[in-house]
Structure 1
Amino acid sequence: MIVIDEQFRERLDKVKKRHSWPVALLAKTLGKPRCYVYRKIEEEKFDVVEDSGPAKVLSNSVIEFFENRLKKV
């Protein structure tokens, strides 16, 4: 059985509502520092879309990362 903090579950539900997130806004939504999000991008744990503006992290990669991480616990 996997138990997730209710507040963190709510944060992940917010992430699911959008297709992609700017790094700073995603970090704020997850309650993590920006360097955490950048580190996950560098480790290729989070997928990124780069267009003419700042890089945006794809929501599905964030959800998938945390679900896989919680399965290992």
Structure 2
Amino acid sequence: MPSITEDRLAELADNWNAETSAPDMQEWRDDLTPEEAKIIDGWDGVYAVGVHNICRDIIAQCREGERHG
């Protein structure tokens, strides 16, 4: 079973952290191994949950402000 080196993991993290919605900034995903893709999918999932939680908290604060405003 292949394993990802620390250097490769750091490279993936750098790419992931620098990624934008521009198509050319996402090209690095095209060459991921299945093992690497699984890791990136996990990072994407955690990010999506975090964004969801932030949005939920903002909405809750807005509603609270409307009730007490």
TM-score normalized with structure 1 length: 0.33
**Structure with higher RCO (Cα < 8 A, 6+ apart):** 1
TM-score normalized with structure 2 length: 0.34
Which has the larger strand fraction?
1
Q: Which has the larger radius of gyration?
A: 2
Which has the larger helix fraction?
2
